[in-house]
Structure 1
Amino acid sequence: MTSTPVRGDGLRALTVRQPWAACIAHGSKRIENRTRPWWWRGWLLIHAGRGTDHQALTDPRVTCTLPRQRPLEFGAVLAIARLTDCHKDQPGQQCSTWADPEAWHLTLTDVTPLEEPIPALGRLGLWRPSPDLTARVLAQLPHLKP
């Protein structure tokens, strides 16, 4: 991760259902699929929602990515990442094995998992974390300057 300053007022959060949130935080998933394009770019908290995509639990990408001994966390911020792009693939080309060909792809870089997940309520869409939640996340990431 770079040591680029993170400003709390520019920080956003994204709630992602499990096991997808864990694949971002602890695995190689760097594309998040969405139904529409996003214009916002910047630092983003990865929040694990309280719901589970049960079908995804048998997806080989998931089973090969997640450590079996690590339980899935729900209703908590798991990581911080930088949203750097949003695109659709060209026909016949796939940017990632995680990319849904019909979806818009949010490109995540500089993903850093938190040492301790931070319980929090999520929301639909892109949301602004509270100052307290932001402070708790940044306290676990001393190399980022608020």
Structure 2
Amino acid sequence: MSGPAHQHRAVDAPRIQALSIRQPWAELIVAGHKLVENRTWRTRYSGLLVIHAPAAIDKRALAALREAGTVLPDELPTRVFLGVVTLEGIHDERDGCCAPWGEPAVKHWTLTGPQRFAAPAPGIGAQGLFNVPDDVAATVNQLTGAPAAGR
């Protein structure tokens, strides 16, 4: 038989999601120092998560981290995709869990396997989770060997 009812559709690869996180937090995540992200909301998404650094910088946090002796690059890139982690799960804050980065009264997003891109990829972020552009998806695929699609 032939016709529209019997045609096969190509199955899209899973869409890789990204999350915009202000510097210096984005840098600490891709460097593997901060493996929990604090959010007020949950998502059902899990898997590869690209870290995007938007234009805004958390200057108060940057100053506090440097004062505490945290080693950070002199220049923190913004408006770029920095690397990829795996979002393993999300849980409610529990007494002292996820120290030192977990904050009280929020959701803790557990991150593993940070991998920095060889070079930051310029791009615009968005609020919440968003699909990565095709070129960033290709970079993730090369880095992780995982088949994945962009927007």
- For the aligned residues, what is the CA RMSD? 2.2
Distance across 2 between alignment mates of 1:73 and 1:103: 27
CA–CA distance in structure 2, aligned partners of residues 95 and 14 of structure 1: 20
- What is aligned with 1:85? 89
Residue 43 (structure 2) pairs with residue 38 (structure 1): yes
What runs of 5+ residues in structure 1 fail to find an aligned partner?
1-6
Max radius of gyration: which structure? 2
How many residue pairs get aligned? The number is: 136
Give the whole-Å Cα distance in 2 for the aligned partners of 1:33 and 1:113: 20
What is the SS of the residue equivalent to 1:9? coil
Aligned residue number for residue 138 of structure 2: 135
**TM-score, structure 1 as length reference:** 0.82
Aligned-pair identity (%): 33
**Structure-1 residue corresponding to 2:64:** 59
Q: Partner of 2:26 in structure 1? A: 21
Give the Cα–Cα distance (whole angstroms) in 1 for the partners of residues 41 and 73 of structure 2. 33
Q: Which runs of 4+ in 1 moved over 6 A?
A: none
SS at match of 1:94: coil
Compared with structure 1, are the counterparts of its residues 34 and 74 closer, same or farther at alpha carbon in structure 2 (3 Å cutoff)? same
Using the size of structure 2 for normalisation, the TM-score is 0.79
In 2: Cα distance, 1:63 partner to 1:26 partner: 17
